[in-house]
């Protein structure tokens, strides 16, 4: 009998099976154990040494001992054979699985899907990538979705997927205290597969302790990060730091979302007072990160910080900005030549609504096409008309969540704009 998995001879195994079946069809010979003493239930104390003429009791015992030894030897030998048969059975099962695997492999090879060129599969893999979730729905990568799923199908698919840097350029990172060392290895392996390509990262963390971990994680890739979304939870007593943005000189798009938890509240609130926002000094501290940005969503504390941010980010084409506090200051005039979409949210209209007017008076935006304004209690008609006249911008959409404009006001705006203007007021 062979014991090596690779040397199992099926014809020899068949012979063994036939021989075993023949043996099993026969019955083991059971010796006759009857003696004249077998019917004696209780020995006669007066005849304890009686012996037959042809056989003594001691001779019977000796014979039975030989029979027991022979039977024990047969049982041991049979157990060895059974163990060998069990091993042989395992070998046959393994060989069966390999044959099935070989059949499936060759069946796949005749399928058109498995004959697709690498270039075609690469294009298909790109379309398998899931849509990037909203920041509040952020989840770490799953093994059940691409690109991780593509590495689990077969060796060829894994080699193609791992060798495609553009599959690994987007990553959602959620920082917590559970298995962070293991998570770091996973995230780092993912980012290395991007092979120097521009990265789009979404970071979600809960305190400065976690932001420090994330900063260490992304440090080797700061020159690749072109898009960054940051969402974080802070207790009202926390003092958030802005160093996570330092040295991100390749950054082109950035969004910052802050969820501040105040004890006693059932739910966190977005952009609550006391959360993370930028004043003018903090905007300056992150320079020159702003220089290459083309898209930005952020929260600032006053109109002065918003204007300073525009000065430091000359390439911005889209800016969504929230103004929180009322800090009325004189603002010098400034012209931004690339901004096409501007959204301004005033968190506290009664306090920060005046800052919209201050910003409007200071700005000239000659390329502005879309303007969204939320939280201004009374629409500053004269200031806005002066802004249009000064900017001479091709404004196409004005979306206002404040006091309604009259038809007469809209007509005055149209007279100042060299293009058609769509009004949306609610």
Highest mean pLDDT among 344-348, 360-364, 405-409, 417-421 belongs to 360-364
Asked whether the bond before 147 is cis by omega within 30 degrees of 0, the reply is: yes
Residue 359 forms part of a structural domain: no
Residue 355 forms part of a structural domain: no
Residue 140 forms part of a structural domain: no
Please give the structure tokens belonging to residue 116.
């697709």
Contacts of 192 (CB under 8 A, 6+ apart): none
Residue 43: predicted pLDDT: 53
CB 156 within 8 A of CB 125: no
CB 266 within 8 A of CB 241: no
Among the residue ranges 45-54, 62-71, 267-276, the one predicted with the least confidence is 267-276
Mean pLDDT of all residues belonging to the chain? 77
Residue 182 forms part of a structural domain: no
Which residue has better confidence, 387 or 135?
Answer: 387
What would the mean pLDDT of 33-54 be, rounded to a whole number? 57
Give the whole-number percent of the chain exceeding pLDDT 90: 21
- The predicted-structure confidence for 157-178, as pLDDT tens digits, reads as follows 999 999 999 999 999 887 765 6
Residue 139 forms part of a structural domain: no
State the number of CA atoms in the 13 A half-sphere of 271 facing the CB: 19
Residue 13 forms part of a structural domain: yes
Q: What is the pTM of this model?
A: 0.59
Band (pLDDT 50/70/90 cuts) for residue 335 is very high
Tell me how far apart the alpha carbons of residues 322 and 276 are, in angstroms, rounded to a whole number.
12
Tell me how far apart the alpha carbons of residues 308 and 381 are, in angstroms, rounded to a whole number.
25
Give the whole-number percent of the chain exceeding pLDDT 70: 72
Whose tokens are 């404040």? That residue is 402
Tell me how far apart the alpha carbons of residues 169 and 398 are, in angstroms, rounded to a whole number.
35
Structural domain count, the chain: 1
Give whole-number Cα distances, 328 to 30, 298, 302, 386, 402, in Å: 112, 20, 8, 20, 21
Residue 317: predicted pLDDT: 92
Band (pLDDT 50/70/90 cuts) for residue 336 is very high
Residue spans of beta strands (DSSP E) within 71-224: 170-174, 199-205
Residue 224 forms part of a structural domain: no
- Residue whose C-alpha is closest to residue 354's, from 326, 391, 393: 326
Residue 356: predicted pLDDT: 79
Residue 397 forms part of a structural domain: no
Q: Which residue range is the domain that position 7 belongs to?
A: 1-24+80-113
Residue 64: predicted pLDDT: 86
């Amino acid at each position: 009998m062979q014991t090596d998995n690779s040397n199992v001879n099926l014809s020899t195994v068949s012979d063994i099976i036939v021989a075993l079946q023949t043996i099993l069809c026969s019955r083991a010979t059971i010796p006759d154990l009857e003696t004249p003493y077998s019917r004696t239930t209780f020995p006669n104390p007066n005849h304890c040494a009686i012996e037959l003429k042809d056989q003594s009791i001691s001779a019977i015992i000796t014979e039975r001992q030989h029979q027991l030894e022979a039977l024990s030897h047969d049982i041991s030998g049979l157990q060895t054979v059974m163990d060998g048969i069990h091993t042989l059975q395992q070998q046959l099962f393994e060989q069966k699985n390999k044959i099935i695997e070989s059949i499936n492999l060759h069946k796949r090879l005749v399928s058109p899907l498995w004959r697709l060129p690498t270039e075609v599969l690469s294009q298909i893999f790109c379309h398998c990538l899931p849509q990037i979730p909203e920041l509040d729905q952020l989840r770490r990568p799953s093994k059940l979705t691409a690109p991780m799923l593509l590495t689990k199908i077969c060796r060829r698919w894994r080699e193609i997927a791992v060798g495609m840097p553009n599959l690994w350029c987007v990553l959602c990172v959620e920082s917590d205290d559970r298995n962070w060392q293991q998570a770091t290895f996973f995230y780092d392996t993912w980012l290395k597969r991007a092979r120097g390509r521009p990265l789009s990262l979404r970071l979600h963390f809960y305190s400065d302790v976690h932001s420090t971990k994330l900063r260490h994680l992304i440090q080797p890739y700061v020159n690749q990060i072109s898009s960054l979304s940051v969402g974080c939870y802070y207790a009202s007593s926390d003092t958030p730091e802005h160093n996570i943005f330092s040295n991100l000189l390749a950054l082109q798009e950035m969004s910052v979302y802050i969820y501040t938890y105040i004890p006693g509240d059932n739910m966190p609130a977005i952009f609550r007072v006391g959360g993370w926002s930028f004043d003018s000094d903090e905007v300056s501290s992150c320079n020159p990160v702003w220089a290459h940005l083309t898209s930005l969503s952020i929260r600032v504390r006053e109109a002065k910080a918003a204007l300073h941010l525009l000065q430091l980010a000359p390439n911005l084409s889209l800016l969504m900005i929230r103004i929180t506090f009322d800090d009325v200051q004189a603002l010098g005039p400034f012209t931004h030549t690339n901004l096409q979409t501007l959204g301004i949210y005033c968190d506290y209209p009664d306090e920060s609504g005046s800052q919209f007017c201050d910003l409007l008076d200071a700005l000239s935006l000659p390329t502005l096409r879309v303007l969204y304004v939320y939280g201004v209690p009374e629409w500053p008609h004269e200031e806005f008309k002066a802004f249009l006249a000064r900017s001479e911008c091709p404004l196409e959409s004005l979306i206002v969540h404040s006091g309604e404009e009259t038809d007469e006001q809209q007509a005055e705006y149209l007279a100042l704009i060299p293009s058609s203007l769509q009004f949306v007021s609610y």
